[in-house]
Amino acid sequence: MSFKHLIYNVEDGIAHVILNRPEKYNAFNFDLMSDIIRVQKVIRKDRNVRVVIISGNGEHFSSGIDIKDMMGKPSQFFKIGWKLNPFGTNMAQRFCIGWHSIPVPVICVMHGYCYGMATTLALGADMRYARPDAELAIMEAKWGMLPDMAGLQTIRSTIRQDIANELIMTGEPISAEKSLEYGLVTRVVEDPMAEALAMAEKLRTKSPDATAAIKLTNQKSWNGSTRGLLARETLYQISVIIGKNWRIMDIRNRKDPDKPFVKRQWWW
């Protein structure tokens, strides 16, 4: 499948999603947002994918929304925010939390500008590795708006409310180190792609079914009820141990560490 402003390839179970609009600092227009939604669907269906790494081509991860392009095409701006069910998700919201329902770990590699929608996209990932030059910002206040891309769903489980208020209400960029202090990024390293690839290799040694169950349990239960958490733990554990990969993991631990896993179970 081809994408207009996105490079997508899978190698040894590692899916690379590369923002590819470097002449615009990978700013998000309608086409790039559409590419993100489409690639999420592709990954979700591919049970051979073990890890996803999101990165940006060029000098910056992304400068955020392409305001000039979006405002020049009102119909596209409407499509991004429209939804019939107020309790459902629109295109802009799926752009962020669509990564949550993908049953594999998603790692975001960040450098340079990571503004607005770029920070929202990154917060939808499971892990975020940033280069020291990275700058993050939640910028809706700059345009007289409030965050409306489901970013608060990820922010509220990541940082304190008072810190979130400062960042959201001012819209001011913060450094990678400050982002690490606040908990917005997982790690700050000189080569975040190398860090992401090393983590991907570690994750590939684990059962894809167990990894999927862990991710989905955490996503659905982190801010949920204890009753819901207990139910998911039980149901997901049963689902894992009746699958082939649970037995393969046992063989890898006791006899053959190189025995390959089978595809992720269909119910993940």
Mind listing the pLDDT tens digit for each residue in 61-104? 999 999 887 777 777 767 777 777 878 888 888 888 899 999 99
Domain spanning 6-202, CATH architecture: Alpha-Beta Complex (3.90)
* CA-to-CA dists, residue 36 to 81, 98, 218, 248, 258, angstroms: 15, 9, 23, 33, 34
Q: Which residues pair with 9 in a beta bridge?
A: 16
* CA-to-CA dists, residue 48 to 43, 252, 261, angstroms: 9, 19, 10
Domain map (residue ranges) of the chain? 6-202, 207-254
**Strand bridging mode 127-130 / 187-188:** parallel
Identify whether the C-beta of residue 79 lies closer than 8 Å to the C-beta of residue 172.
Answer: no
Give mean pLDDT, residues 251-261.
96
Locate 123 and state its tokens.
Answer: 């917060």
Q: In this structure, is the dihedral angle defined by the CA atoms of residues 65, 40, 108 and 191, taken in order, positive or negative? A: negative
The secondary structure of residue 90, as a DSSP letter, is -
**27-47 confidence digits (pLDDT tens):** 999 999 999 999 999 999 999
**142-160 confidence digits (pLDDT tens):** 878 888 787 778 888 889 9
pTM here?
A: 0.93
Locate 78 and state its tokens.
Answer: 């409407």
